[in-house]
Structure formats: structure tokens, C-alpha cells
């Protein structure tokens, strides 16, 4: 059974009431159209991210190569380690963004209904296990690398600053920045994706009931 066949069996899916009320009483066609539009937005976003991270990664790799041609006056090895870490992070994030872009570009909206809804339900969760497996290591690497870079800057431009104070600043600033990013991401997810996720789950539940009745 594909999505067209579902329309004949389930004329309307009563999605849970959203804050904006935009999903209430939508027919199946409207929900599928909303998913297509949201997926297209995410695909464009990941495509832009792919380009940005690729450029940033190539830049840091280029600077890393330059440190071997014209080594810095102070701590060349430290600079190389930091540049290589930044290059690795940005290039790998570019690769990840490309994978997500290709995944969204390859979504088939006419596949069997249950498979389509299960896949959509997975995509619309907030921070899946796979995303956490990517995010957490990168945050750890970025925190360590940025802390070393900032401490080096403190030593050069603020020599009178106690190293313990500099470390305290880093230990507060970076976790606060990641927490703010998480909060903004959560707020954006609730605004854009949570109503659709509720509608997807409602449709899955309704489909399960229909399948049980048909048996």
C-alpha cells in the first residue's frame, strides 16, 4: 500500500492540537506536502552548511600547510595541532552535512506508508542517537581546542591575567555557549518540527488501528 492508497482508507488524520493550530484536521495530502516542504528547507540548510564547512576546513588545512613553509615564531607545533584539529572538525562536519543533504534529497514520498512514516518519525525527532554520537565528540574536541587557543591568546595579549582565571573563563564560556545553542535548537525544533512529529505519530497510530480492523 502506498500513500495514494492510504487516502482512500484514511480520509483525515486528526493530528494533536498544536500551539498554532496549523495541523488540526489536515488531510493526509496536506501533511505529506508539509513534510516535503520541511524536508526541502532542511536539505537547503545542509547544502549551505556543507559549503561553509568545506571552505572553513580547506582554509584551516591551508594555514596548517603554511606553518611548515613559514613556521610561527612561537610554539609552531601547538599551532599545527590546533589548526589540524579545526581542519578535521570542519571538513568532517562538511562531510556529515553532505550525507544529510543526500539523505533528504533521496526521500521517496511514494514508498509503502508504514516505512515512509517510520522513516519520517525518525528524521523529525530532536537529536537522534546517531546525531548525538556525532555531536558529543565534536563538542568535546571543539571545547578542548578552543580552550587551548583562547589560553594561548590570553598569554600573548593579556600576560597579566592569571592562568587560573583564564581557565575559569573558558570553563564557563564554552559550556554556556553550547547550552545556549542547545536551547535555541530545542526552541526551533518545537516551533517547526514538533507539530509535524505529532501528526506523523498520530497517522502511524491511526494506520495501526486501520490495519487491526482490516485483519
Burial of 148 (0-12, 13-18, 19+ CB in 10 A): middle
pTM value is 0.79
**What digits encode the pLDDT tens for the residues 163-184?**
889 899 998 999 999 999 999 9
Rg of the chain's alpha carbons, rounded to an integer?
Answer: 24
| Whole-number average pLDDT of the chain | 82
Q: Looking at the chain, how many residues does it have?
A: 215
**What digits encode the pLDDT tens for the residues 36-89?**
999 999 999 999 999 999 999 999 999 999 999 988 877 888 889 989 999 999
Cβ pair 53, 93 in contact under 8 A? yes
Q: Which three cell numbers stand for residue 191?
A: 516551533
Q: Where are the alpha helices (DSSP H) in 11-162?
A: 28-69, 76-105, 113-123, 129-157
Amino acid at each position: 500500500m502506498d500513500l495514494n492508497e492510504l487516502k482512500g482508507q484514511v480520509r483525515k488524520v486528526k493530528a494533536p492540537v498544536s500551539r498554532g493550530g496549523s495541523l488540526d484536521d489536515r488531510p493526509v495530502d496536506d501533511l505529506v506536502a508539509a513534510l516535503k516542504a520541511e524536508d526541502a528547507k532542511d536539505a537547503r540548510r545542509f547544502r549551505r552548511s556543507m559549503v561553509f564547512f568545506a571552505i572553513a576546513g580547506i582554509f584551516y588545512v591551508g594555514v596548517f600547510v603554511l606553518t611548515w613553509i613559514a613556521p610561527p615564531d612561537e610554539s609552531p607545533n601547538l599551532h599545527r595541532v590546533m589548526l589540524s584539529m579545526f581542519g578535521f572538525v570542519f571538513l568532517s562536519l562538511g562531510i556529515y552535512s553532505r550525507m544529510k543533504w543526500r539523505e533528504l534529497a533521496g526521500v521517496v514520498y511514494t514508498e509503502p506508508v508504514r516505512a515512509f512514516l517510520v522513516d519520517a518519525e525518525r528524521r523529525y525527532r530532536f537529536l537522534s542517537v546517531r546525531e548525538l554520537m556525532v555531536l558529543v565528540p565534536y563538542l568535546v574536541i571543539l571545547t578542548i581546542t578552543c580552550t587551548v587557543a583562547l589560553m594561548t591568546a590570553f598569554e600573548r595579549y593579556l600576560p597579566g591575567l592569571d592562568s587560573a582565571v583564564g581557565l575559569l573563563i573558558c570553563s564557563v564560556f564554552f559550556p554556556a555557549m553550547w547550552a545556549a545553542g542547545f536551547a535555541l535548537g530545542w526552541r526551533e525544533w518545537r516551533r517547526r518540527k514538533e507539530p509535524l512529529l505529532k501528526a506523523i505519530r498520530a497517522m502511524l497510530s491511526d494506520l495501526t488501528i486501520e490495519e487491526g480492523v482490516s485483519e
